[in-house]
Amino acid sequence: MFTKSAKFYDALFHFKNYKKESDNLREIILSYKPDARTLLDVACGTGKHLQFISEFFDAEGLDYSKELLDIAVERCPGVIFHQGDMTDFSLNKKFDVITCLFSSIGYVRTPENLNKAVRCFSDHLNKNGLLIIEPWFSPETYWVDRLTANFYDEPDLKIAWMYKSGSKDNVSVIDIHYLAATPEEISHFTEHHEIGLFTNAEYEDSFKRAGFDVSYDKEGLCGRGMYIGVKS
């Protein structure tokens, strides 16, 4: 995933206001845990949230994709980054806060892996630590057979990316077609994404199994909701 699109990732999601989201995230963190000092952003991507949130916390990032991490390292000098799978990483340290944002949790695909990931997060949190997860769509809210097209249009970079939303066994299946133009070349490539469609009950159950008191914010940072767990 993202091996081909990584270099275009920030342009693809140019519509996100990472600074505003990070400011809101900081307010949420401090409202639950005003003494929070350390933070791990799991599935940190290119580090755009960390670029801002690391101003207020001793923050680190983790992602599965080396290509995305290479960009994050360049963007956030001084921030420690780790390459790993969110279901079974081991950093030999604990944090006050762990975040998993922008629906990245869906890439675990199955309820079993969701439980593994949340348990792994719990193992890396201090007592009374805070876990914040932005979910992907649920089976009820996901759109099947919908056509989606997005565009980025700047003088030296133009991108069109589109897909038809599919699903199988409560997993969204998306084959994204990209057409990217730079002054040097015009390229076409595809990427296959499978993202788990978990119910509210499955999310809440995974938190409770891992020892969290959980609450749900239906808006979250970008309208997809947010699960907030306090390690009990």
Beta strands 95-100 and 80-83: pairing type?
A: unpaired
Among left, alpha and beta (phi > 0; psi -120 to 50; other), residue 181 is: beta
The predicted structure's pLDDT at residue 3: 87
State the Cα torsion 191-114-197-27 to the nearest 10°.
-90
The predicted structure's pLDDT at residue 53: 98
Tell whether 181 and 213 lie within a shared domain. Answer: no
Tell whether 225 and 184 lie within a shared domain. Answer: no
For 73-126, the pLDDT digits (tens) are 999 999 999 999 999 999 999 999 999 999 999 999 999 999 999 999 999 999
Tell whether 109 and 79 lie within a shared domain. Answer: yes
Q: How far apart are CA 85 and CA 106, in angstroms?
A: 13
Q: Domain range for residue 180? A: 147-196
For 132-175, the pLDDT digits (tens) are 999 999 999 999 999 999 999 999 999 999 999 999 999 999 99
| pLDDT beyond 80 at 37 | yes
Q: Does residue 1 belong to any structural domain of this protein? A: no
Q: Does residue 154 belong to any structural domain of this protein? A: yes
Q: Does residue 192 belong to any structural domain of this protein? A: yes
Indicate the number of domains in the chain: 2
Q: How far apart are CA 101 and CA 49, in angstroms?
A: 9
Tell whether 106 and 205 lie within a shared domain. Answer: yes
Q: What is the DSSP letter of 90?
A: -
For 187-222, the pLDDT digits (tens) are 999 999 999 999 999 999 999 999 999 999 999 999
Model pTM greater than 0.85?
A: yes
CATH code (residue 152): 2.20.130.10
